[in-house]
Amino acid sequence: MALVAGALALAVAALGAGDAGPPRRPAYPAKLPPGEGHDATERACLICHSAMLITQQHKDSTAWEKSVRQMETWGAPVAPAEHAAVIGYLTQQFGPAKK
Ligand code: HEC
């Protein structure tokens, strides 16, 4: 299965190679990258939606705080003791876009 997906990705990449269209950005990662606070974030945040909804964001800590509070009111199981670690992880990994 992974082999098939890999072959498909290669085929798609080869097809796009000669294309003079606009430059393409790399796809957003579908998994949360490793780091401090990863486990709690993965456990609490991937129940309702994919990681891409998170990995495509760039937010500062205030904005992540707002989003995570919203997710918590919707039922994200973030233990009070984990809350700061989740915000720290998100800000570290998906902070404001760098130029
Ligand atoms: C109870 C289900 C649920 C859980 C658990 C959950 N989310 Fe969400 N999340 C949603 C829904 C529903 C939306 C879409 C809301 C919308 O489109 O307005 C969403 C949208 C988002 C978005 C895009 C909108 C925005 O605010 O930028 C982000 C980022 C996000 N979630 C992050 C998280 C994080 C981080 C966690 C873990 C703390 C989490 N979610 C856990 C239900 C959930």
Mean pLDDT of the chain: 86
The answer to whether the CB of 36 falls within 8 A of the CB of 96 is no
Q: What is the pLDDT of residues 13-64, one digit of tens each?
A: 555 555 678 887 778 888 999 999 999 999 999 999 999 999 999 999 999 9
Task: Determine the pLDDT at residue 10.
Answer: 54
* Domain coordinates in residue numbering, the chain: 28-99
User: Is ligand 1 within 6 A of the CB of residue 71?
Assistant: yes
What is the value of pTM for the model shown? 0.81
Helix spans in 2-96 (H)? 2-17, 38-45, 52-55, 61-73, 83-93
Q: What is the CATH number of domain 28-99?
A: 1.10.760.10
In this structure, what is the dihedral angle of CA atoms 86, 91, 93, 98, given to the nearest 10 degrees?
170
Task: Determine the pLDDT at residue 19.
Answer: 65
User: Is ligand 1 within 6 A of the CB of residue 44?
Assistant: yes
| Ligand 1 pocket mutation, candidates 67, 68, 69, 93, criterion most atoms within 8 A of CB | 67
